[in-house]
């Protein structure tokens, strides 16, 4: 620790004494939560089956994503899967390494921008080659199952969390790109989710039942019990559930145009519903049975919803504290 660093810490803590504990830099907190998820994904990439050749391995999983897609999409997915199949250790180690790089890069303030840029590019690549474009082209991209692709949320989050000195009003997501752009992204995103809820297999009770049924094998008893309840519900009320999810997504989309108290109520409902979907339908991304590469869209959808939480003046970080924290990190 240099003298300059120690003086910076002294000074920051002295500020805290004078003005009480400063409001938390929420944009930074969200960046670190995103980095934590990337780190989790990186470690999941090191699971033994990821290094395994053949149908039971990572390449087999990638190849399976091509099924049901148009030929021009399927060909690119199979091409990527064949590279992984030929060099499973090398490619998988590289994939894990890139995700470690993103996680640590976001965590270290000096490299946050580069890491977020890399995460956008990587997320788009994974979305196409590793998630089969989220199932959009095969009509199965229902938000119940994580559509339009959990990793696509990562890219949206990275854009909205681009480092900025803004004051984070009226919500954190507006800090970097401005209020108008943040609202446009929000409305387009949730309108897309509303549409995906009711198109293709998304509104089919049988498809929604099968979606849950297909993930139930090997789950712990408590989760399998929840699965049985939710698959029974979907079989009888799947279409209604899809329509209600679409209505909720529309309500979330327009919440940025509504007064803050109303928006907060809608966001709370959205967070609750997506948490329940993450548990009862997505089975926490299948991580508990092994073989998952990420926790699916539940956590990142909730993170996105929290980033649009209307803020009061008391929760907005004062610029002086921002400047001090930047100096300390430098």
Partner 1 sequence: MGTPSWLYYLFGVLMFAVVAYCAVLLIVSIATKRPAGRDIDIAHILMGTAMAGMFVPAWAFGPSWMWELIFGALLVWFIARAILSLQRFGTHVPHTSIHALMAGAMLLMYWFPMPASSGDSVGMMGGMGGHAPAHLDAGIGYLLAMIFFGSAIFTLAARGRGRSHHDDVQPVITTATTAAPSFGDTLTVTDVVQEAEVGSLPWLEDLSHVVMCIAMGFMLILMV
**Interface contacts to partner 1, rule CB under 8 A:** 1, 5-6, 9-10, 12-14, 16-17, 20-21, 28, 32-33, 35-36, 39-40, 43-44, 46-53, 57, 88-89, 93, 103-104, 106-109, 220, 222, 284, 287-290, 325, 328-329
CA separation, residue 140 to residues 157, 163, 210, 214, 269 (Å): 23, 34, 12, 14, 24
Q: Where would I find the beta strands (DSSP E) of 70-136?
A: none
Give min distance, CB of 72 to partner 1, in A: 32
Q: Which is nearer to partner 1, 192 or 277 (CB)?
A: 277
Q: Which is nearer to partner 1, 96 or 251 (CB)?
A: 96
Q: Which is nearer to partner 1, 14 or 240 (CB)?
A: 14
Give min distance, CB of 284 to partner 1, in A: 8
Distance from C-alpha of 139 to C-alpha of 267, rounded to nearest angstrom: 27
DSSP one-letter code for 130: I
Q: Which is nearer to partner 1, 52 or 76 (CB)?
A: 52
Give min distance, CB of 163 to partner 1, in A: 12
For residues 274 and 305, the answer to whether their CB atoms sit within 8 Å is yes
Q: Which is nearer to partner 1, 54 or 214 (CB)?
A: 54
Give min distance, CB of 2 to partner 1, in A: 9
Give min distance, CB of 21 to partner 1, in A: 6
Half-sphere exposure of 326 (CA within 13 A, CB side): 12
């Amino acid at each position: 620790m240099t003298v300059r660093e120690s003086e910076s810490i002294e000074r920051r803590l002295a500020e805290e004494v004078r003005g009480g504990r400063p409001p938390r830099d929420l944009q930074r907190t969200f960046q670190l939560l995103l980095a934590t998820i990337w780190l989790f994904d990186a470690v999941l990439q090191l699971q033994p089956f990821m290094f395994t050749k053949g149908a039971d391995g990572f390449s087999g999983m990638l190849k399976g994503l091509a099924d049901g897609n148009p030929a021009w999409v399927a060909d690119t997915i199979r091409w990527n899967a064949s590279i992984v199949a030929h060099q499973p250790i090398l490619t998988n180690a590289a994939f894990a390494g890139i995700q470690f790089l993103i996680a640590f890069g976001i965590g270290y303030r000096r490299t946050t921008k580069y890491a977020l840029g890399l995460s956008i590019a990587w997320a788009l690549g994974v979305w196409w080659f590793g998630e089969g474009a989220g199932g959009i082209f095969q009509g199965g991209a229902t938000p119940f199952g994580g559509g339009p692709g959990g990793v696509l949320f990562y890219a949206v989050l990275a854009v909205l969390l681009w480092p900025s000195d803004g004051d984070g009003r009226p919500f954190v997501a507006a800090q970097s790109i401005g209020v108008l752009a943040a609202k446009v992204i929000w409305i387009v995103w949730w309108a897309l989710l509303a549409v995906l809820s009711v198109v293709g297999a998304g509104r089919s009770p049988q498809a929604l039942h099968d979606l849950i049924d297909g993930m139930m094998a090997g789950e712990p008893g408590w989760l399998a019990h929840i699965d049985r309840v939710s698959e029974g519900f979907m079989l009888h009320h799947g279409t209604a559930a899809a329509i209600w999810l679409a209505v909720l997504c529309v309500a979330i989309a327009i919440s940025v145009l509504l007064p803050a108290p109303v928006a907060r109520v809608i966001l709370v409902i959205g967070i609750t519903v997506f948490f329940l979907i993450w548990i009862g339908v997505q089975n926490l991304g299948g991580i508990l049975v092994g073989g998952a590469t990420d926790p699916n869209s539940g956590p990142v959808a909730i993170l996105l919803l929290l980033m649009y939480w209307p803020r009061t003046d008391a929760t907005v970080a004062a610029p002086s504290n921002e400047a001090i924290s930047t100096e300390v990190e430098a």
